[in-house]
């Protein structure tokens, strides 16, 4: 009985996280409440508080889970053993696949609300982008050393430009509801940063 109760609790927590993630990706962190999640799932707010004491704790869990899925997607790209241009193309596909579900990058949405987030969430959002830039810096450096990419500046500068460019391209494509607009911007961005073209699919961190 205790094992079943633990499983039910875990399932409910997952459903809460799934619902909250969708809401953040559509409305931002300040655009939803516990009442919204409770109404969507047909549970009480007391049940929400049982699993996540407050919205700050829920938000922290959302970022941690999203970052873990994103890290797994990067590991999958590395496991494919592709060349640096292919890795960068696959990285851009992560964002494109999220946009096709009519969502935004969770941490990109949270960055828009950064000033109003609890401190632990702020730190987690910055850590997410730092981790992505660290991975990308390694890819750009490898490509530059091998000659498969041709950088005008530093690998870290290219990494920062790519993350910022992709997040911005998602934001602009959103009101047009045109994933092709994002893909065109991503293609030009990758070409300007070393010649990669986003033609390879990668596992999306959100679905």
Provide block-wise average pLDDT over 10 residues at a time, the chain (207 residues). 57 96 96 95 94 96 97 95 92 95 95 96 97 98 94 95 97 93 95 65 46
Any domain includes 148: yes
- On the 0-12 / 13-18 / 19+ scale of CB atoms within 10 A, 95 is buried
Confidence (pLDDT) at 194: 76
Any domain includes 41: no
Confidence (pLDDT) at 10: 79
- CATH number of the CATH domain containing 81: 1.10.357.10
Alpha-carbon distance of 138 to 94, in angstroms, equals 18
Confidence (pLDDT) at 82: 85
Print the domain residue range for 113. Answer: 60-193
- Residue 42's SS3 state is coil
Any domain includes 138: yes
Confidence (pLDDT) at 205: 56
CB 133 within 8 A of CB 156: yes
Any domain includes 81: yes
Alpha-carbon distance of 148 to 167, in angstroms, equals 25
Any domain includes 160: yes
Any domain includes 205: no
Confidence (pLDDT) at 109: 97
Any domain includes 34: no
Specify the number of domains making up the chain: 1
CB 69 within 8 A of CB 205: yes
Any domain includes 31: no
Confidence (pLDDT) at 81: 77
Task: Please give the model's pTM, rounded to 2 decimal places.
Answer: 0.87
């Amino acid at each position: 009985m205790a094992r079943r109760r633990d499983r039910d609790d875990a399932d409910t927590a997952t459903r809460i996280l799934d619902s909250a993630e969708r809401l953040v990706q559509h409305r931002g962190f300040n655009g939803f409440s516990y009442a919204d999640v409770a109404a969507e799932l047909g549970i009480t707010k007391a049940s929400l508080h049982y699993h996540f004491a407050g919205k700050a704790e829920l938000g922290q869990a959302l970022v941690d889970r999203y970052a873990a899925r994103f890290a797994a997607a990067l590991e999958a790209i590395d496991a494919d053993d592709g060349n640096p241009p292919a890795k960068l193309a696959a990285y851009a596909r992560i964002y494109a696949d999220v946009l096709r579900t009519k969502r935004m990058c969770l941490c990109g949405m949270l960055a828009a609300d950064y000033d109003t987030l609890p401190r632990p969430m702020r730190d987690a959002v910055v850590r997410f982008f730092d981790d992505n830039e660290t991975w990308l810096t390694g890819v750009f450096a490898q490509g530059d050393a091998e000659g498969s990419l041709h950088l005008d500046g530093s690998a870290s500068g290219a990494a920062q430009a790519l993350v910022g460019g992709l997040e911005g391209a998602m934001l602009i494509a959103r009101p047009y509801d045109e994933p092709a607009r994002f893909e065109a911007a991503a293609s030009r961005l990758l070409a300007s940063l070393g010649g990669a073209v986003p033609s390879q699919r990668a596992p999306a961190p959100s679905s």
